[in-house]
Chain A
Amino acid sequence: EVQLVQSGAELKKPGESLKISCQASGYNFPTYYVGWVRQMAGKGLEWVGIVRPSDSDTLYSPSFEGQVTISADRSINTAYLQWSSLKASDTAMYFCARVTGLGIVAYWGQGTLVTVSS
């Protein structure tokens, strides 16, 4: 059974760093891109970026380029999304998901709520 399990909710202060994780199981992790999707409260879904675990090739949406870092560790089947200096505007739910193509994103993590507040 394919599963994506994300790390727990985080409460951080502006300027702090953060790394959230998404551990995959039930499939050959290097084979598929893993993406991160942001959803701010009451708003729609936005792609942050995707990573190909086989070679760590990473693509970012223009709005997020330079704002976050996406990475993957094949040895522990885990993808990461990290910030070096959080802002209040980073407050959102973040989902990881396995990307297959043809509009298929069939497997999602449960979401990680990131709250940035002083």
Chain B
Amino acid sequence: AVQLTQSPSSLSASLGDRVTITCRASQGIGNELGWYQQKPGKAPELLIYAASSLQSGVPSRFSGSQSGTDFTLTITGLQPEDFASYYCLQDNNWPYSFGQGTKLEIK
């Protein structure tokens, strides 16, 4: 099974900051990775798919990149609504897997 190692598990940042979250896959998954934002009590929302494609309606301050089996989510210019939890997801092969999550908090 593909393991996704996501880091950091928590992150404190200020409004306007640039933050990066990484996800490392235990084996090759092509570009079959998405990034999700989740707020308490709500379903996750898709931000990035195919490693670097921005989902329709998602602000352009969110971006994704890939280098081999390393994937990165970058948020440039943090807004108040961005403080939430973030997860990566691979659906290259079953069982699909999520990263452990990153909780982004206000400093």
Residues of A within 8 A of B (CB): 35, 44-47, 50, 59, 61-62, 95, 97, 99, 101-106, 108-111
Contacts and interface: CB of A to CB of B under 8 A. Distances in A.
Interface of B: 1, 31-36, 38, 41-46, 48-51, 55, 87, 89-91, 94-101
B93 to A, nearest CB: 10
Given A62-B95, A103-B90, A105-B34, 14 more contacts: A44-B87, A47-B96, A47-B97, A47-B98, A59-B94, A102-B50, A103-B33, A103-B51, A103-B89, A104-B34, A105-B44, A106-B46, A108-B45, A111-B41
Interface of A (DSSP majority class): strand
Given A62-B1, A110-B43, A103 B49 contact: yes
B43 A111 contact: yes
Contacts of B46: 104-106
Nearest to A46: B98
